[in-house]
Amino acid sequence: MGRNYIILGLCALLVVVSAFAFSDPETASRYYEMRRSVTLSEDVQTVVMALLVAGIGGYLAWHYLKRD
């Protein structure tokens, strides 16, 4: 029961901080520019997604094909 309150508190804190940060246009534009500069290129996104699919697929194959 304690974890639920912690998660709920963190979500509420996130909402409050987001509302405060994005209410100021200058701060919001700085966050937008920062997010744009950090965004991965399309080729890197494709490689990352392929690795995730291969990893998840490999785990599922291992999980369903193992015989204990």
Domain boundaries, the chain: 1-66
Whether 21 and 28 have beta carbons less than 8 Å apart is answered as yes
Nearest 10 degrees: Cα torsion 26, 27, 33, 35: -160
31 in Cβ contact with 21 (< 8 Å): yes
Residue entry with tokens 């246009």: 25
Predicted TM-score of the model (pTM): 0.44
Task: pLDDT tens for the chain, 68 residues: list them.
Answer: 678 899 999 999 999 988 887 787 887 788 888 888 877 788 888 999 999 999 999 999 999 998 65
Residue 21, number of CB atoms within 10 A of its CB: 12
